[in-house]
Amino acid sequence: MNTEGLLAARMVRLKSSAIRELLKHSKMEGVISLAGGIPSSALFDFEGLAKATQIAITEQPEHAFQYGLTEGSHGLRSRIADLCKDRGIVATAEDIVVTAGSQQALDLVMRAVVDPEDVFVVERPTYLAALQTLELAEAHLLSVGSDGDGMKVDELAEILKTRKIKGVYLVPTFGNPSGVTLSLSRREQLVKLAAEHQFLIVEDDPYGELRFTDERLPTLFEISKTQYGHANNIIYTSTFSKILAPGLRLGWVIMPQWLLNKVAIIKQAADLHASSLSQTVAENYLALGRLDKQIETIRAAYKQKYNVLAELLERELGHVLTFEYPKGGMFLWARFREPRNCTEWMKKTLEQGVVFVPGEFFFSDNPDYSTFRISFATATEEQLHEAVARLKRAL
């Protein structure tokens, strides 16, 4: 590992330790946590999950408890391919590797494609744990800003005038932490740039199904297929964590064939394959036909929470805060109108009994300390009221 690699690794350690330390507070008695990016277990379809598990242990015990294929069971991959059709993604089981959550998809992909010093471009802000996988792979990170229309693709175009890049990582739909969605014109612009400059796009899509409106923008994968007849440089990852149950630790990645074999070989060395029990349960759950209704339930609940939160924030804190208006997902990204260090501020909010994630942790460089991320998925409406009141008292 070269010096920069060591520095990056140290940064990963520091960030993770700081975050881990901070998040300990969220477990404290009486503290309302708006911090964790975790879905609400009050909304889990425990009845359906129990049914799916029951079938696994009574009818498919060997499938559930014996070793399986590195790429994932063929049955589950076929079901995932079907599920992705609704997302405008034409893929077969053979294009898919089942992973331990989309987190593992990111780690495996970065290990497969990034050589040390390869340039990867991320959004500012971006998903913290994606930064960790990029830093472990010793990527050289560059960042571009984002606004209400998502990543500023024009800034990327500027970079491409002078730099050769390996890839772009982004959460284009209901982003984490920003909550914002990349506009259609920027999507098309990004896919065009990738085709022209031959770089990879890692399209991380954990939240795309959690929309609050009827609007569904095409995935980057879909745009590439439509415009160029292939998606050879698009790597699409998604997960069951936000639509079914994160404890299953099941995600997937759809890749071009040149990459798939490489990822499968690394996965084999990394953990052989994802939990057979989890895979069997997920496959059975999909076969029960309950997922669409479950997603509707989550959408309605998160939308309601978001509406309550946005109204409260505007009314109670609108004089000091601005924020974008997400159209889906689990996060709201707030910024103080006047500069304020939110990591410092959280000491005060903690005294009042409310925590969030300070924004600085989501930046690979040039952190905006005046920002913070609110997750509205787990708190009840009552808790959201109380949380905003506490934030106000901590001003």
Q: How far apart are CA 45 and CA 294, in angstroms?
A: 7
Q: How far apart are CA 32 and CA 383, in angstroms?
A: 7
> Which residue, 370 or 378, is less far from its own copies as judged by CB?
378
Check binding of 58 to its own copies (CB under 8 A). Answer: yes
Of the ranges 35-43, 90-98, 209-217, 387-395, which one interacts with its own copies (CB under 8 A)?
A: 35-43
> Which residue, 276 or 349, is less far from its own copies as judged by CB?
276
With left for phi above 0 and alpha for psi between -120 and 50, is residue 183 left, alpha or beta? beta
- Taking the complex as a whole, the smallest distance from the CB of residue 276 to its own copies amounts, in Å, to 3
The contacts of residue 29 (CB under 8 Å, 6+ apart) are none
- Taking the complex as a whole, the smallest distance from the CB of residue 31 to its own copies amounts, in Å, to 18
- Taking the complex as a whole, the smallest distance from the CB of residue 70 to its own copies amounts, in Å, to 8
Residue in 236, 287, 248 with CA at minimum distance from that of residue 55? 287
Position 103: which residue type? Q
> Which residue, 53 or 78, is less far from its own copies as judged by CB?
53
Question: In DSSP terms, which residues pair with 168 in a beta bridge?
Answer: 121, 201
- Taking the complex as a whole, the smallest distance from the CB of residue 394 to its own copies amounts, in Å, to 27
Binding mask 62-91 for its own copies (x = CB under 8 A): xxxxxxx-----------------------
Please report, for residues 211, 214, 242, the alpha-carbon distance to residue 250 in angstroms, rounded to integers and kept in the order given: 21, 27, 10
CA-based end-to-end distance of the chain: 44
Interface positions, 134-193, toward its own copies (CB under 8 A) = 136
Note the residues at the interface with its own copies (CB under 8 A): 1, 12-13, 16-17, 36, 38, 41, 44, 46, 49-50, 53-54, 56-58, 61-68, 99-101, 103-104, 107, 111, 115-116, 129, 132-133, 136, 241, 245-249, 261-262, 265-266, 268-278, 281
